[in-house]
Amino acid sequence: MLGLGAMGTHMARSLHRGGDLAGVWNRTASKAQALAAELGITAFDTPAELARRCDIMVICVSADADVRAVVQELLPGIAAGSLVLDCSTVGAGTARELHALLAPRGTEFLDCPVSGGVEGARLGTLAIMVGGEAPAFERARPVLALLGKTITYFGPSGSGQAAKATNQIMCAGIIQVVAEAIAFAKAEGLPLPALIDTLGKGAGSSWYFVNRAPFMAKQEYPAGFRVRLHAKDLRICHDMAAAHSATLPAVESTLKLYDELIAQGHGDEDISAVFRLTSTLFP
Ligand code: NAP
């Protein structure tokens, strides 16, 4: 396992529980050493050393440049027949680029971005969206099954990232419209708990309405899906749409709200903090 952040640490634990973790590597070595000591596994000094000892490698780091950097550092140790599973959320173009880099060396690369948050990573119940060669997916399936419950193969390299981007576009539109609707209902003087309970069963409902509107009503934005992370994902969606010469209005308007929240110091709050801004629509 390479990358022991909020997600990767739990994923490493899941792999260990399944008896499938030889060792870990993390850029900040102290994190890898602490986890390795706790689990009784190896903390590798470099990605290349890990690659020499493992035929399947799981990566979960922040963004496109970070995955590229880790794959470059794996290269000196990678042998033909190895399999690299990247669970980071990055652009489909990056996945295709790394797939093409590794293919001539006889190494498979699958894009395997995940959904379900830190809680899903902890419980091993992530939804995993996979792109790459179908036989490599069959080989990866038992490892992915230790990390998630819903594992779907979407097609050639980049398809997993495209599926994840589709999800992030929906989240952008939904969180924004839920925040707008609650601001409106509040201005109308409606009893919010009763409203949320009733509309939560209606056609306009969604996971975000049921689970986040109650927090908007209380003006509390507990740890969940950080504004900063979703903004990173929406920039990926922006770039992928731009490759089709298209723009996505909901993505663009949500990004503007996120930029404002980050500038105000709310980048590490849950994305329901958008209500901070929509509530000012009603002076
Ligand atoms: P995080 O807690 O910020 O951890 C980031 C990890 O990436 C750390 O281990 C960090 O190492 C490593 N890293 C960053 N840049 C690196 C580089 N250039 N070279 C090597 N390692 C590098 O992030 P996270 O929440 O675990 O998210 C990881 C990925 O999963 C992201 O792509 C994110 O979008 C995706 N994801 C996150 C969630 C979520 O709810 N958090 C949900 C679904 C998907 P250091 O320890 O040295 O900083």
Of all protein residues, the one whose alpha carbon is nearest to atom 17 of ligand 1 is 66
CA distance linking residue 12 with residue 14, whole number of Å: 5
From the list 61, 75, 55, the residue with the least C-alpha distance to 139 is: 55
Give the per-residue pLDDT at 88: 98
pLDDT of residue 58: 98
Is ligand 1 within 6 A of the CB of residue 117? Answer: yes
Q: Which two tokens stand for residue 73?
A: 């550092």
- Ligand 1: centre distance to CA 226 (Å): 12
> Does 94 sit in the ligand 1 pocket, CB within 6 Å?
no
Minimum CA distance residue for ligand 1 atom 25: 6
Residue 281 has pLDDT above 90, yes or no: yes
Percent of residues, the chain, with pLDDT higher than 90: 98
Q: What H or E segment, with its residue span, contains residue 128?
A: strand 126-131
CA atoms within 13 A on the CB side of 214: 9
Q: Is 88 in the pocket of ligand 1 (CB under 6 A)?
A: yes
Ligand 1 centroid to residue 218 C-alpha, Å: 30
Q: With left for phi above 0 and alpha for psi between -120 and 50, is residue 106 left, alpha or beta?
A: left
| pLDDT tens sequence across 44-79 | 999 999 999 999 999 999 999 999 999 999 999 999
pLDDT at residue 222, rounded to an integer: 84
CA distances to 5, 138, 214 from 120, in Å: 14, 22, 21
Q: Does ligand 1 lie within 6 Å of residue 47's CB atom?
A: no
Q: Residue whose CA is closest, atom 20 of ligand 1?
A: 27
- Asked if 49 and 77 touch (Cβ cutoff 8 Å), the reply is yes
Cα–Cα distance, 160 to 182 (Å, whole number): 33
CA distances from 114 to 106, 119, 139, 148 (A): 25, 12, 18, 8
Cβ–ligand 1 distance for 118 under 6 Å, the answer yes
DSSP 5-64: SHHHHHHHHHHHHTT---EEB-SSHHHHHHHHHHHT-EE-SSHHHHHHH-SEEEE--SSH
- In angstroms, what is the span from residue 7 Cα to ligand 1's centroid? 7
Residue 155 Cβ < 6 Å to ligand 1: no
Please give the domain boundaries of the chain with CATH numbers for all domains. 6-156 (3.40.50.720), 162-281 (1.10.1040.10)
Q: What is the pLDDT of residue 221?
A: 94
- pTM for the full predicted model: 0.95
Give yes or no: 149 in active site: no
Does residue 95 register a pLDDT over 90? Answer: yes
Residue nearest to atom 15 of ligand 1 (CA): 66
CA distances from 80 to 25, 133, 255 (A): 21, 16, 42
What is the pLDDT at residue 152?
Answer: 98
Q: What percentage of the chain carries pLDDT values higher than 70?
A: 100
Short-list 96, 248, 115, 244, CA closest to 159: 96
Residues 214-265 have pLDDT tens digits of: 999 999 998 789 999 999 999 999 999 999 999 999 999 999 999 999 999 9
Q: Which atom of ligand 1 is nearest to the CA of 65?
A: 18
Instruction: Say how many Å lie between the CA of residue 49 and the centre of ligand 1.
Output: 21
- Amino acid, single-letter form, for residue 250: A
Task: Measure 66 CA to ligand 1 centroid, in angstroms.
Answer: 9
With a 6 A CB cut-off, is 26 part of the ligand 1 pocket?
yes
Mean of the per-residue pLDDT values of the chain: 97
Q: Which residue, by CA, sits nearest to atom 29 of ligand 1? A: 88
pLDDT of amino acid 7: 95
Q: What is the pLDDT of residue 93?
A: 97
Q: List the structure tokens of 242.
A: 């731009």
Q: Is 155 helix (H, G, I), strand (E, B) or coil?
A: strand
Q: Summarize the confidence of residues 191-198 as an average pLDDT.
A: 98
Give me ligand 1 centre to Cα 75, in Å. 20
